[in-house]
A and B are shown apart, each in its own frame.
Chain A
Amino acid sequence: MYDFLTGPMLWLTFAVSFGGLLVRVVLYIKGLSQQLDRVAYRAHMSYGLKGAFNSIISFLNPIGARVWRIRPGFTLMFFAFHIGVVITPIFLIAHNVMLQENLGFSLPALPSGVADFLTWMAVVAGLLLTLRRVAFPEVRILTTGYDYLMMVITLAPFVTGLIARYAIGDYQFWLTAHIITGEIWLLSLPFTKLSHVVLFFMSRAQIGMDYGIKRGGMKGSSLSW
């Protein structure tokens, strides 16, 4: 079971997940239309790219956009959640041992204390973001079962990983659960709203190009997001 999950299944998961995300990116770009979007992408590529870059950078920076600055509480939760969710799996030592064994290379590994902290941070921030959906009427009205499902899919590998890491209960069971939930998460990326792992960049680049070309960029106005 373990060998299958970390062998053929893992490769299949990677192929579907990363391949699928790549397809999403390609389809996104192919579906852009100067006429429909009213942005002259080709004619003013340099203004567009400048705008795209400005837009992406502003939102990756927790003080880069006005919306982050005026909502510090949300911003803290949001960045804690995303940093934990993205950084931990990539740089976790256990994952890199697997990478080394299978592919003969590995990435720099996080000290286990830091990895623990980041994982807890992701889980706690994720729970707070979920509570926020219930607590605030302006978020409650938007929230559907699908949003909760996305959170469950995302947090499951982290929760199971923590349980396995602290060896609570049957280690083998929780390790298997961790691998399965991790693979479900990866497989969900291209097919669900989690596709925002790449589409965030596409969408931000697109609106950035819109602003860079049409909505002020060519008038020398750098927009303060």
Chain B
Amino acid sequence: MPEGILCNKTPIKTDEQLKLTLSDSRGTKYYAEMLELEVDSDALWALVQKTLKSRTKTWLEICAHCGLCAESCFLYQVNGRTPKQVPSYKIQSTLGQIVKKKGKVTNEFMRHCMDVAWSQCTCCNRCGMYCPHGIDMGVMFSYLRGLLYSQGFVPWELKIGSGMHRVYRAQMDVTTEDWVETCEWMAEETEEEWPGLEIPVDKQDADIMYTCNAREPKHYPEDVAEAAILFHVAGENWTVPSEGWEQTSLSMFAGDWECCKDNVQNVYDAIERLNPKRAIGTECGHAHRATVIEGPYWTGRPDGLPPRPYIHYVEWLAEALRTGKLKIDPAKRIKEPVTLQDSCNYVRNQGLKDITREIISYIVEPGFFVEMSPNKEHNYCCGGGGGFNGIGMYREQRNVALRKKMDQILDTGCKLVIAPCHNCWDAIRDLEEEYEIGIRWSFLKPLVIGMLDVPEHMLPKDEE
């Protein structure tokens, strides 16, 4: 069987195919079909020749096999320092072999590559900082994922995830109508407590266009409401687009580069259409990386920048606190030991390390903030990055991966963890579920709302 009905080289492009793949519980049939999936060596090699240029080619060639990357990898550390988890070994024995064999590899080998690419690397890019030659294995694994995806060797959930993006332009089946309704519903609910609050959809020429992660309208609509409250209190002139509101990209984790381009173009089109002064994305790391850091390259923008300044939520929040648009009641500041999770995707990938600490300085009583060790750009992945969190067949490996973050948090002695990234937030929630270390975790939005010094006129009349 060259290609299966569910497991094949064709991306999911229709709702029917999406539902069909979803109905295959846990991907049982999908993975069974994968056992028979034929590798198109010619196409694989042609793709490699077209895309493997200076940077990656040289990395594969000059790797000195010194092993300095070993200790940099949290997966190596938590898996008993087995040599098979050395980043260089992981990439040389997968991508390196595909290149060496000019694409003439077997089905079994491709399935092995899939296991390594999605369960032994979270593309956290930490190893790249520890290689004397500047070899970033995270970048190469991302590249390998693209090759594997093109041949149909991708975990079931991510095939579905990129299919969701292709069909719904969102990582979940949230349609334009669902999204707009959620905004209206949240505005109505929230307005009782915050008179005058609005969630303006498709407002032209606003100062801010806000975009989010589809998990928010789907599973935590209160996050949308919280964003609205903070924009409202800060007096911002803001809007959300009806189309192009979703900035995440499971296709980036899946290696579906064509879909990545389509997603981010959809967001950029919204920017061009509504003409805001700038765009602000929610508390999500990979969404920021997809839309702001990598997205401009997918859509071929020569300056490598989005069409308007596009910032992460932490940047807006720090600014609002710094300029006094949002005021914190000193009595309500956090007065318990609290630590901060640095998201790989906007710290190691865009340098936003100090700005989160600036926020901490406003919302935490001095003396209560405890840094993880190591931290900032040397921090470890939450344990669930790069799609790891969502892949059922690698759950066990993911749970092992969480141990590094668990140890880091335990070492701080804190019971509260601030995690301004959806994926980190999910991973920390899962680690508490799995290991029960007695911690709480939070996004910034609810914490800040809880300690706001709100001007009198903004409070509901009956409370005055």
Contact = CB atoms under 8 A, between A and B. Distances in A.
Interface string B359-386: 0000000000000000001100000000
Given A219-B352, A221-B353, A214 B92 contact: no
A34 interface: yes
Contacts of A31: 53-55, 57
Nearest to A32: B54
B349 interface: yes
B53 A32 contact: yes
Contact of B58 (A67, A199, A208, A225): A199
A15 interface: no
A162 B348 CA distance: 47
B354 interface: yes
Contact of B65 (A142, A219, A220, A224): A142
B252 to A, nearest CB: 11
Contacts, number: 155
B57 A204 contact: no
Interface string B67-103: 1101110001000010110101100100000000000
Interface residues of B, number: 53
Contact of A67 (B68, B293, B304, B349): B68
Given A36-B51, A193-B61, A193-B64, A221 B351 contact: yes
B344 to A, nearest CB: 11
A140 B83 contact: yes
The A interface is mostly helix, strand or loop, or mixed, namely helix
B14 interface: no
Interface in B336-352: 348-352
A74 to B, nearest CB: 7
Interface stretch (B112-120, B132-140, B175-183, B325-333): B132-140
Interface stretch (A37-45, A101-109, A119-127, A174-182): A37-45
A208 B129 CA distance: 10
Nearest to A71: B68
Contact of A193 (B62, B305, B352): B62
B297 interface: yes
Nearest to B59: A203
B331 to A, nearest CB: 33
A214 to B, nearest CB: 6
A34 B297 CA distance: 7
Interface string B273-315: 0000000000000000000011011001011110000000000
A221 B354 CA distance: 8
A47 B141 CA distance: 26
Contact of A36 (B53, B132, B305): B53
**What is the interface residue range for chain A against chain B?**
35 or more
Contact of B55 (A36, A66, A137, A221): A36
A67 B71 CA distance: 10
Given A27-B54, A38-B294, A43-B302, A139 B351 contact: no
A42 B348 CA distance: 22
A59 B132 CA distance: 7
B128 interface: yes
A138 B67 contact: yes
A35 B300 contact: yes
B304 A40 contact: yes
Contact of B304 (A27, A39, A139, A147): A39
B394 interface: no
Contacts of A138: 67, 70-71, 76, 81, 83, 86
Contact of A139 (B57, B59, B67, B81): B67
A225 B377 CA distance: 9
Nearest to A146: B65
B1 interface: no
Contacts of A163: none
B133 A200 contact: yes
B58 A203 contact: yes
A220 B58 CA distance: 29
Contacts of A39: 297, 304
Interface string A12-52: 00000000000000011111111111111011100000000
A159 B129 CA distance: 34
A7 interface: no
Interface string A172-194: 00000000000000000000010
Nearest to B67: A139
Contact of B128 (A30, A35, A42, A207): A207
Interface of B: 51, 53-55, 57-59, 61-68, 70-72, 76, 81, 83-84, 86, 88-89, 92, 128-136, 293-294, 296-297, 300, 302-305, 348-354, 377-378
14 contacts: A31-B53, A35-B297, A37-B54, A43-B304, A67-B72, A142-B92, A195-B62, A199-B61, A203-B62, A207-B136, A216-B350, A219-B350, A219-B351, A223-B129
Closest 6 CB pairs of A and B: A216-B351, A221-B351, A40-B304, A31-B54, A207-B134, A141-B83
